[in-house]
Amino acid sequence: MALTRTTSSTSKHDAAHSTQAVLGAGTRVRGRITGDGDLAVHGHVEGEVHLRGELFIAEGASVVSNIEASALRVAGALDGDVNVTGDVALLAGARVRGDLRGASVSLEEGAELDGRLDCEFTLPVELSGGGLDDSDGPTVRR
Amino acid sequence: MASTVIGAGITIEGEVSADEELVVQGTIRGKVDAREGVTVEAGGTIEADITGGPLTVAGSVTGNITSSDRVDLQAGARVVGNVKATRITIADGAQFKGNVDMDV
């Protein structure tokens, strides 16, 4: 009398693997998301995110929320301030409005940012025009 | 096949609505509306009213369940709340407290 659904057994397998979490494209969350582990958002989040792990905002995803995380990668839309202990990466296709703070921030060609960067990093040669050094964490306005 | 997985270390406090299947290994507190169904795995916890499609519970649910389809409580499940569904199974080892309304 096996009434278990196939999906249950495959999910259990995934559970053993990692604390990988995915909010699919058709999912909307309004509220606070907290926790440990990485989270990939393909849908919509409105609220707050406090994650001890990496947050990935996929292309097509939209997040309206302040974010605290260990690392952040954005390929979708984000409206909110970011305070990350590790690296922030805005990938091509990212559209971000808000202030970003992280140990390092990178913007790929095609990424859009409307906000401030607050971190310590070395500008690439093409942009530094004058050799801005990273010693005191300059604020770069884009 | 798209699905949303709320990993074991994740807690969501608020409203979750999904057009795809929702797999809960972590915690959701608030309100859940999942048209394609919800699977609460062992260790997963939902403290919310749940509406949507088929529901499979091996973890803990506290809240009223309104399903347009079937509800399966597996061994190890702990459900406190009323259940409205078209079909229901309560496996040996599942714990359940509430009313069942199958629209008879």
Domain extents for chain B?
3-96
Matching residue, tokens 């979708």: A76
What number is the ipTM of this complex? Answer: 0.90
Specify if A115 maps to a domain: yes
CA distance B103 to chain A (A): 22
Closest alpha carbon to B65 in B93, B44, B87: B87
pLDDT for A9: 39
Nearest to A3 among B13, B26, B72 (CB): B72
Nearest to B20 among A3, A24, A33 (CB): A24
Give residue A14's pLDDT band: very low, low, confident or very high (50, 70, 90).
very low
Q: Which one-letter amino acid corresponds to residue B75?
A: A
Specify if A31 maps to a domain: yes
Give residue B103's pLDDT band: very low, low, confident or very high (50, 70, 90).
confident
Q: What does the pLDDT average to over A128-139?
A: 54
Specify if A5 maps to a domain: no
pLDDT for A142: 58
Give residue A7's pLDDT band: very low, low, confident or very high (50, 70, 90).
very low
At A82-128, the pLDDT tens digits run: 999 999 999 999 999 999 999 888 999 999 999 998 876 667 888 87
Q: Is B100 on the interface with A (CB under 8 A)?
A: no
pLDDT for A121: 62
E strands, A1-142, are 21-23, 27-36, 39-41, 44-52, 54-57, 62-69, 71-74, 77-79, 82-84, 87-90, 95-97, 100-102, 104-107, 112-114, 116-119, 139-141
Domain count, chain A: 1
Nearest to A37 among B10, B30, B42 (CB): B10
**Is the Cβ–Cβ distance between B8 and B24 less than 8 Å?**
no
Specify if A11 maps to a domain: no
pLDDT for A137: 52
CB contact under 8 A, A26 and B18: yes
Give the whole-angstrom CA distance, residue A135 versus residue B70.
61
- Bridge partners of B23? B5, B39
At B3-38, the pLDDT tens digits run: 899 999 999 999 999 999 999 999 999 999 999 999
Q: Is B18 on the interface with A (CB under 8 A)?
A: yes
CA distance A32 to chain B (A): 5
Q: In chain B, which residue's Cα lies nearest the Cα of A37?
A: B9
pLDDT for A122: 67
Q: Which residues of A touch B73 (CB under 8 A)?
A: none
Q: Which domain holds residue A39?
A: 19-141
Give residue B65's pLDDT band: very low, low, confident or very high (50, 70, 90).
very high
**Is the Cβ–Cβ distance between A90 and A111 less than 8 Å?**
yes
Give residue B66's pLDDT band: very low, low, confident or very high (50, 70, 90).
very high
User: Is the pLDDT higher at A137 or at B8?
Assistant: B8
pLDDT for B43: 94
At A15-46, the pLDDT tens digits run: 333 457 999 999 999 999 999 999 999 999 99
User: Is the pLDDT higher at A4 or at A82?
Assistant: A82
Specify if A9 maps to a domain: no
Inform me whether the pLDDT recorded for B41 exceeds 80.
Answer: yes
